[in-house]
Amino acid sequence: MEQAFKLEQGLTKAERYERFLELFKPFIEGETDRLAALANTAAALHEAFGFFWVGFYLVANDEWLSLGPFQGSVACSRIRKGRGVCGTAWQIGETQIVPDVDAFPGHIACSSQSRSEIVVPIRDSQGRVTAVLDIDSDKPADFDTTDQKGLEAVAECLKKV
Ligand code: SME
């Protein structure tokens, strides 16, 4: 399994997501252990795209998200509903693309190197948000609707775990 998600050079961003999903769907399909699935998803995304920080915040109760599996540096362990980019994505139930984290009211800075961010809600099969996938970049405006489409497809694969 070493470097199973290392993608070939020279692909466009859309092609990278396409290729990633070809590898990821069969890989994650049979996994029923949620923690194992989320941990491997963070590792696979990190290996394929080299994201600065990629991980999950899990819905702990009506009010709080708790830090879940991630790849990157130490991050804040709890986020309140409606706070920061993650808490906003959870509350609104929609993907948030933040081209400049300093311009996002209430952004929670876990790393001063983080410049832009995308957060995608993860829903269960009843449509309830159970977690969010948070990805940070050290470059400004690094995420667009191609990332949104690709990462929402990843979220869809995690519906049953
Ligand atoms: N920036 C996030 C907090 C989590 S860290 O980026 C890992 C936010 O504003 O919700």
The CATH number of residue 110's host domain is 3.30.450.40
Domain membership of residue 107 (yes or no) is yes
Domain membership of residue 1 (yes or no) is no
Cα 116 to ligand 1 centroid, rounded to whole Å: 10
99 φ, ψ to 5°?
Answer: -70, -30
pLDDT by residue (tens digit) across 120-139? 999 999 999 999 999 999 99
Q: Is the CB of 136 under 6 A from ligand 1?
A: yes
Of residues 58 and 106, more confidence is placed in: 58
12 φ, ψ to 5°?
Answer: -70, 170
Give, as one character, the DSSP assignment of residue 139: S
- Could you give the CA distance from residue 56 to residue 72 in angstroms, rounded to a whole number? 12
Domain membership of residue 141 (yes or no) is yes
The pTM score is 0.97
Q: What is the mean pLDDT of the chain?
A: 96
Counting the structural domains of the chain, the total is 1
Domain membership of residue 85 (yes or no) is yes
pLDDT by residue (tens digit) across 61-72? 999 999 999 999
- By DSSP bridging, strand 96-98 and strand 78-80 are unpaired
Q: Which of 58, 76, 96, 98 to mutate to test the pocket of ligand 1 (most atoms within 8 A of CB)?
A: 76
**β-sheet with 129-137: strand ranges across:** 78-80, 64-71, 53-59, 129-137, 116-123, 96-98
Give the pLDDT of residue 160.
Answer: 86
- Could you give the CA distance from residue 100 to residue 48 in angstroms, rounded to a whole number? 24
Residue 64 sits in which domain range? 13-160
Specify which residues 64 forms β-bridges with.
80
Cα 10 to ligand 1 centroid, rounded to whole Å: 30
Q: Which residue's CA lies nearest to atom 1 of ligand 1?
A: 108
pLDDT by residue (tens digit) across 91-108? 999 999 999 999 999 999
Give the pLDDT of residue 2.
Answer: 78
